[in-house]
Structure 1
Amino acid sequence: MSTYRSKSLLLALSTAAALSTLTATPSAQAAEAATPQPTLTWTPCARPDLGGPTTQECATLSVPVDHADPTGPRLDLAVSRVRSEDPAKRRGALLVLAGGPGGSGVQRLTQRGTKLRAQLGDTYDLVALDPRGTGKSTRADCQLPASDRHLTTLRSWPAPDGSIDANIDRSRRTADLCARNGGPVLRSLTTANQVRDMDLFRRALGEQKLSAWGTSYGAYAAAVYAQKFPHRTDRWVLDSVADPDPKRLAQTWMRNTGQAVEDAFPAFAAWASDPARGADRLAEHPSAVRPLILSLAVRLDRTPKESSVPGTPLTGNHLRQALQNSLYGEANYLPLARLIAAASSTDPKVKPVLTPDIAGPLPDADAATTIGVICNDVRWPAGPGTTAAYRRAVRADRTRYPLTAGFPANITPCSYWKWTPAEKPTRITSSGPSNILVVQNRRDPSTPYFGALKMREALGERARLVSVDKTGHGSYLGTGNACGDARVTAFLTTGVRPAADTSC
């Protein structure tokens, strides 16, 4: 038995049985009674050609901008469902939560609905929503210049020499523009409000409880919901989850990226040196792939290479960003290998083909949501001495984790954010029903295994952990591990969790 489990076992066993039958607190009942009953009008989704289930339906859910003022200004959320076709087998509704902040739940249901139905049969209505600021829900804008909306600028990659002066200027500029142009909608983009919106969605569906499958940031939002509304949770799956430290949140998630990329990189190195790659093989041995990429990035720092996108040359930071994104799954390895090969070519006619994630700027609304949630949720380091501390941290991080070149430790607009958090972040605890399953790849380039262990520790006996011996981000129905998939499917369809933490 692990240390954290043994420490919490006696307390958790004494509380779990009582809390598994929790009912709404008086304050929660009062808040629910004060909020008008939400309604939904379902119609066939407009784009069945996107490959989702043909029975997928869409609707609009009206929610208050400020949940403390339920009759005040409102915004719209796009929601979707795929109904169970057998009422006799239907248990309830399974909420599908995408990552981000900024991921579309409706799109994820479209992408994964057919696979989910194959796994779960008619056990659930599959449901999803686009969180406020996301997808087809009401959006917010900061009116950022396009040059500030590339991933390599939003993620604060340092200059080739390690300088962060441009990042400091951009962070100040971004915070100013968001304060000037974002308005109440941007101010409302918080995890706490997303969780309240989720509960309004539950009410609109007519469900007493929800089950959920949340991935990445969606898993964190699901954990917060389970903490705030434990009496509304049925079967709860947290997939690829991060350290829930309420004092730091996304600061910790960023800082963990350097080690996460290091953990995931060997899988790509082995793939790229496998003779089976043929003409796409990058090296004869895995150990040669890292120096190849590091030296190529330095060359591109000095001399960016003309790419397939006019006006957007391939820089060293573009390459580093492409590497990090590509480690999310093996399906991304081939485009990355071909990008590296083209960038290494001495033939001036060969232009690297930029993958969509680095080919251009994000839409302004997408950038605003990503920034808004992480800055609104928790206070970031600010004030005198802040920039000096970031300079030191970036220097140390560049040395320790050269593949990420210091960006995980760098400054963000949150250090200059004009709004203070409206409420304290939720602390995840072991108080609540024992109905949570955490599933986690051991080598995840975004939400690393060691961070997921922090969530597992916080949940105590509320949860069981399925550790999956795979590389990539997103475990269930994502990395092809039959054992891990079977454990999650069994839990969602039968309610049976492993008796103890287990490995696949």
Structure 2
Amino acid sequence: MAVAAAVLAGLAAPATAHADSRDQGRDPGDARPVPARYTAQTLNWHPCATQPTLECATMAVPRDWQHPDAGADLSIAVSRHRATDPAKRKGALMIAAGGPGAQNGQTRPAGLAAKAPAVAAAYDIVGFDQRGTGESTRAVCQTPAEFQEFLAGDYRDRSPEAIDRVIANSRKLADSCRKNSGDLLPFLNTGQAAHDIDLFRTLLGERKLSYDGPSYASMLGAYYGALFPHRVDRMVLDSNIGFEGTWERFELGQPMSFQRRFDEDFVPWLAARDATYHWGSTAEQVQAHWERVRAALHDRPIVDGPLTIAPNQLDNGAINVIYEAENFPYLAEALTAVDDWRTATPAAKAVAGKVFGQYLSPEFLAEYFSVTCSDTPWTRDMDTWVERGAELTARYPLVGARTLAFSAVCAAWPTDPAPKVKITGAHLPTTLMLNSVHDPATYYEAALGAHRALRGSRLVTVTGNGDHGQYPTANTCVTDVVEQYLLADRAPEHDLTCPAPQAGWPERT
């Protein structure tokens, strides 16, 4: 392995210190080559502590790729799952994490290798903890106790006192990020992370990378393709952010899509199982039941040891669960416990504790806000957000109610927007995009806009499904398209539709 690594590093040497003249490996307008101290470093691979099937290493990167000689280096935790059939090896496949803020980027290659053995045979599957997350140099904002204050209460409350409290908590969060992460914040953005990927490519000894990016990683992949198009071999973008526009515009569309998923998928599923969960036999009865329970929690939150279930926790649990239909039974079981906490079984209470007590984290939101607040410009006028928050709360209350809290953080964010990266698809090979029609987080309408911007891309639309993340899954239609693309170099000639398997909705076991 050591000899092979040395040979690969030697083959890649001409492309390291000075990038290809067609892409330069630089931000727009930036004429700085990558310093040799970064391209000449060695990745010291060793077995990963938590994933024995992976090798791990640490990579040093510039704090600021636009000024690589300024400031202290950052550390990026990277990993590799070696191709299981070297004779079929096609190269390296980068898989990145979502969020932004997911802390599991370094360990993700193990999951893909287990679920897609044919891909694992042909590719070294590589991953990394994005700057600001996980085992890499991390952003720090609030303690767990401070963070609970940000999520406390009822975001639907439109009283002046409640609005003032929400804005104060949002400003407090932004200020804590400034105090605790300091000069790191301006460099936690998607453009900087795309440069980290290309340095990783260099150190792997690969002239080109293939890429699989779900959720937020679709945006990271699109940015990488815009900055380094001639370094892309194949690219799969799964469950797509509206990466051709701004975070502000994209996030203003999420209240609609989460409400659609809740109203049109989860509520009918629950109504069809009234004999099991006793929440109503029609969609109207289930919705009314939800509102009664939520109103009761506003007046009398459930407090059981460290667990508090108030209206925001009720909403957050639903938001989290409806990403995947296989989790619907967990939300339903948790709702039976919230219905009457005194008589709920210990098992139902335990499920409710997981569903309503484990939502996001201070670590997740430190990176989430660092990226979303500074990748693209945000409206800074707080009156605008109070007004938009009221409108979205009335129309799409599940997620619309938190619009003010989350947007007020970005309105108070202490850094300027990052340099603009324009997505066009120029000089890229055919890019494969996947999206379900009812995805709550990366909604289909945004995927269509991203697809139009990424010229030459092919979109696989998954109908009869609202799950977030389409590969790898049990949908053989999607799997066949993706693996023909990755393994046989066969890109679809046009956009496709894949129906979701009709195996029935999940049941409680």
Q: TM-score, normalised by structure 1?
A: 0.85
Cα separation, 1, equivalents of 2:151 and 2:36: 37
Aligned twin of 1:174: 173
Give the CA deviation at 1:183: 2.0
SS of the residue corresponding to residue 460 of structure 1 reads coil
Aligned-partner residue type, residue 416 of structure 1: A
Aligned equivalents of 2:153, 2:458: Cα separation in 1: 36
Distance 1:459 1:365 in 2: 32
- Mapping for residues 125-140 of structure 1, pairs under 5 Å: 125-140=124-139
Contact 2:153 2:298 in 1 (8 A): no
Give CA-to-partner distance per residue, 1:103-132, whole Å, 9 cap, x none.
Answer: 22113223332112x242522100000011
Q: Aligned to 2:281, which of 279, 284, 296?
A: 284
Give a deviation string over 1:439-478, Cα, whole Å, max 9, x none: 00111010100111110010122x0000011111111124
**Structure 1: distance between partners of 2:171 and 2:244:** 26
SS of the aligned residue for 1:467 comes to: strand
State yes or no: 1:113 paired with 2:110: no
Within the candidate set 256, 259, 265, 1:259 is matched to 256
- Name the counterpart of 1:227: 226
What residue in structure 1 maps to residue 5 of structure 2? none
One-letter amino acid of the counterpart of residue 377, structure 2: R
Q: Answer yes or no: is 1:40 the counterpart of 2:34.
A: no
Contact 1:272 1:337 in 2 (8 A): yes
Distance 1:229 1:58 in 2: 25
- Tell me what 1:332 maps to: 327
Kindly provide the amino acid, as one letter, of the partner of residue 398 in structure 2: L
The CA deviation string for residues 246-304 of structure 1, in whole angstroms up to 9 with x for no partner, is 4x22x2232111111122122222322334x8534533234432222233212211221
**Partner deviation per Cα, 1:129-184 (whole Å, 9 max, x = no partner):** 00111111111223x2434424x836996253464222210122122222222122
2: CA distance, partners of 1:419 / 1:344: 44
Unaligned runs of 5+ in 2: 1-18, 499-509
CA 1:343–1:261 in 2, change beyond 3 Å: closer, same or farther? same
Q: Report if aligned partners of 2:153, 2:310 keep a CA contact under 8 Å in 1.
A: no
- More relative contact order in 1 or in 2 (CA 8 Å, sep 6+)? 1
CA RMSD between the two structures = 2.5
Q: Which one of the candidate residues 486, 489, 492 is aligned to 2:480?
A: 486
Change in CA separation of 1:82 and 1:471 when aligned onto 2, cut-off 3 Å: same
The equivalent of 1:495 in structure 2 is 489
Of the three residues 417, 420, 431, the one matched with 2:413 is: 417
Structure 1 stretch displaced more, 398-407 or 436-445: 398-407
Aligned pair 1:380/2:383, yes or no? no
Compare 261-270 and 346-355 and name the one that shifted more: 346-355
Q: How many pairs does the alignment contain?
A: 464
Aligned residues of 1:84 and 1:124 also touching (Cα < 8 A): yes
* Identical-residue share of aligned pairs (%): 31
Q: Which residue of the partner structure matches residue 429 of structure 2?
A: 434
What is the aligned counterpart of 2:446 among 451, 457, 460?
451
Instruction: Give the distance between the partners of 1:200 and 1:156, measured in 2 at CA.
Output: 44
> 2:477 is matched by which residue type in structure 1?
C
Q: Could you tell which deviates more after superposition, 221-230 or 394-403?
A: 394-403
Aligned partners of 1:237 and 1:414: how far apart in 2? 30
Counterpart CA distance in 2 for 1:155 and 1:451 is 30
CA distance in structure 1 between the aligned counterparts of 2:130 and 2:303, rounded to whole angstroms = 37
CA distance in 1, matches of 2:24, 2:287: 56
Q: Report the Cα offset of residue 46 of structure 1.
A: 1.2
- State whether residues 88 and 122 of structure 2, in contact with CA within 8 Å, keep that contact through their aligned partners in structure 1: yes
Query: Cα offset for 1:28?
Result: 3.7
Q: How does 1:65-214 map to 2 (within 5 A)?
A: 65-72=63-70, 73-103=72-102, 104-116=104-116, 118-142=117-141, 144-150=142-148, 153=150, 158-161=155-158, 163-214=162-213
TM-score (norm 2): 0.85
Contact 2:270–2:279 (CA<8 Å) still a contact in 1? yes
| Unaligned segments of structure 1, at least 5 residues | 1-21, 49-53
8 Å CA contact 1:190, 1:377 repeated in 2: yes
Residue 398 of structure 2: SS of its match in structure 1?
coil
Deviation, 1:311, is 3.8
Q: Does the aligned pair in 2 maintain the 1:147–1:361 contact within 8 Å?
A: no
Distance 1:393 1:484, change over 3 A: same
Aligned letter for 2:35?
Answer: A
- Matched to 1:306, the amino acid is V
Task: Determine if contact 2:150/2:170 at 8 Å carries over to the other structure.
Answer: no
